[in-house]
Structure 1
Amino acid sequence: MKHIYTIAAFAFLLISCGGKEQTVEQVLSEGNLENIRAKRSEIEEKQVAISKQLKLIDEKIAELDDSKKLPLVTTVSAKTENFVHFLELQGSVQTKENIVIFSETSGILQDVYVKEGQHVSKGQLLAKIDDGGLEQQVSQSEIQLALTKTTFERQKRLWDQKIGSEIQYLQAKSTFEAQEQAVNQLKTQLAKAAITAPFSGVIDDIITEQGSVVSPGQSQLMRIVNLKNMYIETEVPENYIKSVVEGKDVKVEFPILGTSVDTKIRQASNFINPANRTFKVEVAVPNKDENIKPNLTAKLKINDYTSENALLIPLSIISENANGEQYIYVISNKNDKGEATVNRAIIETGKSQNDVIEVLSGIENGTEIIKEGARSVRDGQTVKVIKY
């Protein structure tokens, strides 16, 4: 339309000048430089005049054409979908079988039978401390025990036949029992010199080298870790106490490893920490490849809410008024030109996940909601809906 007005105005100026005015072609054919320059100045003046007139015409058109004033918006339809919400927390990997083995007796660490990284079985001999002749004492005590046992058994047979005195029988019995306890005590002491694996696992660190002098309760010998029975412990806010329970599905991600595993909550604490109003949950971690290590940082996604028919809308289009109410803008009475009326809808929302949020009330399934341009419209305004 703008080009039509330009041509019309130019033609009008040409007509208004009558037939006396020379054309550009005529002036150029004469070859007179002064006339050519004069013709150029004349055309420039006409061009400026036409531009001013076109500007006035465009301003008047914009004033009279209401369709150009309508704000342009895009819309999205609210629809029901399957909605799975995850509570995202952070935790670290733990194991109940991760201990440092201490010496239980004093002496020289005579032998170390394992090396770092070695897999061992429960009860396997790991190291031995010099017993200082305790094994010989046990052998001698066992010989003495055998003698006191024989004496006691003979005295008992005599006593059963009413031969001999009761005091002889009791003395023989007492001597045997005392010797038996002495042997058992020596054996217990001797057993402390043999370091065995308390559970199956991996020798993570040899702390004290062979030949070192060790003391009971002070000398750390080695660390043993079981990487099979791993778990993650994390703290959950108390308002999730009804939804985060034993058996809930959990997705565990390990950012360092770039892997994730699907597991479940195996224990939820019944105690709420009064200091931070949280309770602890324990999540089992399968570790067949043994690449998950203790104290490794993990991200937990706990499925605390699921709805098969949740009404979802983009989180970014929600606003809040002075009363703390959440609202969105919807459209109605849309015509074939895409022109529609804006209506403000007060809504009640539920849980959000990523960039969507569940609407509990305020709109229905299929409601057309303003998406782009929602921040610049007002209630009752007419807008034009466009599509990308």
Structure 2
Amino acid sequence: MKKIFPVLFVILFAASCGSGDNKSVEDVIASRDLESIRAKKSELVSEQNSIKEDIKKLDIIIAELDKSKKIPLITTFKLETTDFRHYLELQGNVTTKNLLIIYPEYSGVLSNVYVKEGQKVKKGEILARIDDGGLSQQLAQLKIQADLAKTTYERQQRLWDQKIGSEMQYLQAKSNYEAQIQAIAQLEQQVDKTIIKAPFSGTIDDVLTEQGSVVMPGQSQIMRIVNLDNMYIVTDVPEKYITNITRNKKVQVEFPVLGKKIDSKVRQVGDFINPNNRTFKVEIDLPNKDRSIKPNLTAKLKINDYSNENALLIPQSIISENASGEQYVYIISENDKENEAIAEKRVIVTGLTQGDYIEVTEGLDAGNEIIMEGARSVNDGQNVKIINQDS
């Protein structure tokens, strides 16, 4: 090696200086003699070609003598255990069990609407009233008749207790009174259907029918009431995750429209597999103290379906695959003081991914030094040189 560089220097020096008898390029140009200029160019081109041939010969011998040039340069990292959490990404919709459109139970004219949109109401509060068509007057008359029947019954009962009068008179009075009570109860039920009450505490979201309109049971939508206190998200999960998605699993909830993220948990897992799409339903708790989240809002969900506190993660980019479909990576062994080592092929079994990384379940151990850069250019048993080695 030491003899090669002086030879190269002599050749280059001779080429640059040329023969002492030759004129310099500047002198030839200054002569303005075309033949001399052409001759000088030919001379330089010939010298250039000769130098290239000599350099090529030198490169060949350098490559033959310099064995370090054939060793691939690699970088490595030491494999360590880490906390790995895999998340199943889904989309869900916000809903609530306290969202209801109120329909009338009685036909008639909507005579009074006592609430307006946005108004908060309590359970049982009267929201509207339907004209009862004279049922109230009938009820009042029945109550008067019932009072008379009650008086007659009580009088007949006292007489019968004293063995005065006939048993038939007593029984007729009793039967008449009981019939009046039943008639009042039935009519009260009818009158009660003309009064529309809040089924739960909440907010009147929309009044759908104006006062004075004729309404029909099961057809006319009176108003919509909603309670935002007990909100939750519902989503469909593929059946293959049925053993992984359980109650109290952690969930990351994101609302892109609101720019809001919430940490929550799975509160209920369905027991029924939908035969049409092979999914089961999952409900997720949704705290909504500021009431910014509304029903039917779309949410992005990340459900923690797998966790491993001692996982081995490697970049997916360093994994290769052979003709049999086996995945493998390279580790190093016999690392010497000059950072030269031997590449060793390891067949691995992989699991779930986390971004650009994947969990290795078989084939590697914590502490293995994995080839990172240059992993796809080495062979099993090949000498390699480690640069910028991670400590």
- In structure 2, the CA distance between the partners of 1:64 and 1:6, relative to structure 1 (3 Å rule), is closer
Match of 2:12 among 10, 13, 31: 10
1:183 match: 184
Q: Secondary structure at the match of 1:220?
A: coil
Q: Secondary structure at the match of 1:264?
A: strand
Give the whole-Å Cα distance in 2 for the aligned partners of 1:144 and 1:88.
Answer: 69
- In structure 2, the CA distance between the partners of 1:22 and 1:316, relative to structure 1 (3 Å rule), is closer
1:269 match: 270
1:109-130 Cα deviation digits (max 9, x unpaired): 1122222222222112211111
Equivalent position amino acid for 1:299 in 2:
K
Give the whole-Å Cα distance in 2 for the aligned partners of 1:320 and 1:41.
Answer: 56
Q: Secondary structure at the match of 2:13?
A: helix
2:309 match: 308
2:216 match: 215
- In structure 2, the CA distance between the partners of 1:323 and 1:45, relative to structure 1 (3 Å rule), is closer
Percent identity over paired residues: 58
Task: Answer with 4-13 or 245-254: which moved more.
Answer: 4-13
1:320 match: 321
Give the whole-Å Cα distance in 1 for the aligned partners of 2:300 and 2:64.
Answer: 59
Give the whole-Å Cα distance in 2 for the aligned partners of 1:14 and 1:246.
Answer: 84
2:261 match: 260
2:360 match: 359
Give the whole-Å Cα distance in 2 for the aligned partners of 1:14 and 1:88.
Answer: 70
Give the whole-Å Cα distance in 2 for the aligned partners of 1:3 and 1:132.
Answer: 119
Q: Secondary structure at the match of 2:385?
A: strand
TM-score, length-scaled by structure 1: 0.88
1:115-149 Cα deviation digits (max 9, x unpaired): 22222221122111111122122112111111111
Equivalent position amino acid for 1:90 in 2:
Q
Equivalent position amino acid for 2:295 in 1:
P
2:133 match: 132
Give the whole-Å Cα distance in 2 for the aligned partners of 1:355 and 1:279.
Answer: 29
Q: Are residue 103 (structure 1) and residue 104 (structure 2) matched?
A: yes
1:150-185 Cα deviation digits (max 9, x unpaired): 211222222222222221111111111111111111
Task: Answer with 235-244 or 159-168: which moved more.
Answer: 235-244
Equivalent position amino acid for 2:198 in 1:
A
1:251 match: 252
2:386 match: 385
Are the aligned partners of 1:78 and 1:311 in contact in 2 as well (CA < 8 Å)? yes
Give unmatched runs, 5+ long, in structure 2. none
Equivalent position amino acid for 1:10 in 2:
L
Are the aligned partners of 1:94 and 1:295 in contact in 2 as well (CA < 8 Å)? yes
Are the aligned partners of 1:121 and 1:199 in contact in 2 as well (CA < 8 Å)? yes
2:146 match: 145
Give the whole-Å Cα distance in 1 for the aligned partners of 2:161 and 2:264.
Answer: 67
- In structure 2, the CA distance between the partners of 1:326 and 1:156, relative to structure 1 (3 Å rule), is farther
Give the whole-Å Cα distance in 1 for the aligned partners of 2:120 and 2:105.
Answer: 23
- In structure 2, the CA distance between the partners of 1:302 and 1:113, relative to structure 1 (3 Å rule), is same
Report matched runs for 1:361-376 at 5 Å.
361-376=362-377
Equivalent position amino acid for 2:265 in 1:
K
Are the aligned partners of 1:75 and 1:370 in contact in 2 as well (CA < 8 Å)? yes
Task: Give how far 1:68 is off.
Answer: 2.5
Task: Give how far 1:367 is off.
Answer: 1.0
Equivalent position amino acid for 2:13 in 1:
A
1:227 match: 228
Give unmatched runs, 5+ long, in structure 1. none
Q: Secondary structure at the match of 1:349?
A: strand
Q: Secondary structure at the match of 1:159?
A: helix
Q: How many residue pairs were aligned?
A: 385
Task: Answer with 165-174 or 299-308: which moved more.
Answer: 299-308
Give the whole-Å Cα distance in 2 for the aligned partners of 1:336 and 1:305.
Answer: 42
- In structure 2, the CA distance between the partners of 1:36 and 1:317, relative to structure 1 (3 Å rule), is same
Task: Give how far 1:285 is off.
Answer: 0.9
Equivalent position amino acid for 1:255 in 2:
P
1:15-36 Cα deviation digits (max 9, x unpaired): 883x5445668x48x9644398
Give the whole-Å Cα distance in 2 for the aligned partners of 1:269 and 1:124.
Answer: 35
Q: Secondary structure at the match of 1:111?
A: strand
- Structure 1 vs Structure 2 CA RMSD: 2.8
Task: Give how far 1:260 is off.
Answer: 1.7
Report matched runs for 1:65-84 at 5 Å.
65-84=66-85
Q: Secondary structure at the match of 1:280?
A: strand
Give the whole-Å Cα distance in 2 for the aligned partners of 1:121 and 1:3.
Answer: 98
Task: Give how far 1:333 is off.
Answer: 2.4
Give the whole-Å Cα distance in 1 for the aligned partners of 2:127 and 2:5.
Answer: 97
Give the whole-Å Cα distance in 2 for the aligned partners of 1:5 and 1:65.
Answer: 17
- In structure 2, the CA distance between the partners of 1:183 and 1:375, relative to structure 1 (3 Å rule), is same
Q: Secondary structure at the match of 2:248?
A: coil
Task: Give how far 1:209 is off.
Answer: 1.5
Task: Answer with 251-260 or 312-321: which moved more.
Answer: 312-321
1:348 match: 349
Task: Give how far 1:252 is off.
Answer: 1.5
Give the whole-Å Cα distance in 2 for the aligned partners of 1:172 and 1:338.
Answer: 114
Equivalent position amino acid for 1:270 in 2:
D
Are the aligned partners of 1:5 and 1:54 in contact in 2 as well (CA < 8 Å)? no
- In structure 2, the CA distance between the partners of 1:143 and 1:80, relative to structure 1 (3 Å rule), is same
Q: Are residue 119 (structure 1) and residue 120 (structure 2) matched?
A: yes
Give the whole-Å Cα distance in 2 for the aligned partners of 1:85 and 1:14.
Answer: 67
